[in-house]
Amino acid sequence: MQLVTSLLRRFLPPLMLSAAATVVPAFAAYPEQPIKMIVAYAPGGGTDIIARTTAQFLAKHLGNNASIVVVNRPGAGGAIGFAELARAPADGYTIGFINTPNVLTIPIERKSNFYWQDFDLLGNIVDDPGNFSVHADSPYKNLKELVAYAKANPGAVTYGTTGIGSDDHISALMLERAAGIKMTHVPFKGAAEVHNGVVGKQITVAAMNIGEALQYAKGGSPIRQLGQMSVARTNLAPTIPTFKEQGYDIVMASLRGVAAPKGLPPAIRDQLQSALQKAAADPEFQAKAANYFAPLRYLPPPTYAMELKDAEAGFKQLWQAMPWGEK
């Protein structure tokens, strides 16, 4: 640097030296402007709540007075939000949550404007098992009673989900197949609407994730959980039996992770991945997530990618055996 300065002083007049000094750019540290975080589901649901919490702590660990604004883009089982995220500029100023199985199943069942490979994965945050909930006034206390009624009254049991191809929808179809019953599907734009549907007795069953159901119950919602779709009872719901315990070997959960459009500048990608990992390990974040009944399971990008790849293969096989598209 000293040699360059010496040569400049020797060969350039003073005025030109002054001008040269003024044109040296001063690069501000990322992020220089607010970051948009897209949530592909309606406000008030499990993804929206954990996204807003994640945004707070991700901004904290990004530093540089980072600001992250959550934007809801609900509809089409998440396809609207996922597609918007995939086609956004890969500049680090648009990130978003992607949910399984929807981000995997939508491209399997119909033409799609996105695939999970269209994203730079930043890390997974939540792994939330499925659940069936009914109104507290419902006569059904367990899956056996619900199935018995559904067998005697084909199509009379209505169940709400966040859309065709969602984990809730596929698990309900799996129960129909295993139990030899027929229920009626009612898709909504988000878990909050599904919850409102069962509370308002517009639907018989709210098929949602156990974390979401527990959060609503904690808030005083008049709902009862019939079962959770985990391998074993989760520590968040130790008193709620699994589907397997009740005779139906159905395991289904939703991964909720953070991604960005493919092609982020490497330095920005690394910065976002590092900040998300720190956010996930932040004790205050973990305490807030537990308060929201959000089952945390941080996965670094390579592990997250392997989970998505394996799950996609499984859903492709399931599609061949049991197509879940509406007829």
Delimiting residues of CATH 3.40.190.10 domain(s) in the chain: 129-246
pLDDT band at 236 (very low <50, low <70, confident <90, very high): confident
Delimiting residues of CATH 3.40.190.150 domain(s) in the chain: 35-128+253-321
Instruction: Tell me the β-bridge partners of 56.
Output: none
Class of domain 35-128+253-321: alpha beta
Does pLDDT of 64 surpass 80?
A: yes
Superfamily of domain 129-246: Periplasmic binding protein-like II (3.40.190.10)
- SS3 of 183-250: the string is CEEEECCCHHHHHHHHHCCCCCEEEEEHHHHHHHHHCCCCEEEEEECCCCCCCCCCCCCECHHHCCCC
Structure tokens at 79: 């396809």
Residue 90 DSSP class: S
Q: Which of 80-89, 272-281, 315-324 is least confident?
A: 315-324
Instruction: Tell me the β-bridge partners of 37.
Output: 70, 95
pLDDT for 103-161, tens place per residue? Answer: 999 999 999 999 999 999 999 999 999 999 999 999 999 999 999 999 999 999 999 99
Does pLDDT of 202 surpass 60?
A: yes
- Contact between 95 and 37 (Cβ < 8 Å): yes
Q: What is the pLDDT of residue 105?
A: 95
Does pLDDT of 225 surpass 50?
A: yes
Residue bearing tokens 């156990």: 210
pTM equals 0.83
pLDDT band at 96 (very low <50, low <70, confident <90, very high): very high
Amino acid at 319: W
* Distances in whole angstroms, Cα of residue 272 to Cα of each of 13, 56, 88, 163, 296: 45, 13, 16, 30, 19
